[in-house]
Structure 1
Amino acid sequence: MITLTRFHGDRFSVNPDMIVRADATPDTVITLIDGTKAIVAESLDEAQRHRPHAPVVHRRPGDRYRGYG
Structure 2
Amino acid sequence: MNDVQKLLGNKIRLMRIALGLSQEGLADATGLHRTYIGSIERGERNLSLKNIVIITRALSTTPSELFKDIE
Q: Is TM (by shorter chain) over 0.5? A: no
Q: Which has a greater percent of strand?
A: 1
TM-score by length of 2: 0.30
Kindly name which structure, 1 or 2, has the bigger radius of gyration based on alpha carbons. Answer: 1
Q: Which has a greater percent of helix?
A: 2
TM-score by length of 1: 0.30
The structure showing larger relative contact order (alpha-carbon pairs under 8 Å, at least 6 residues apart) is: 2
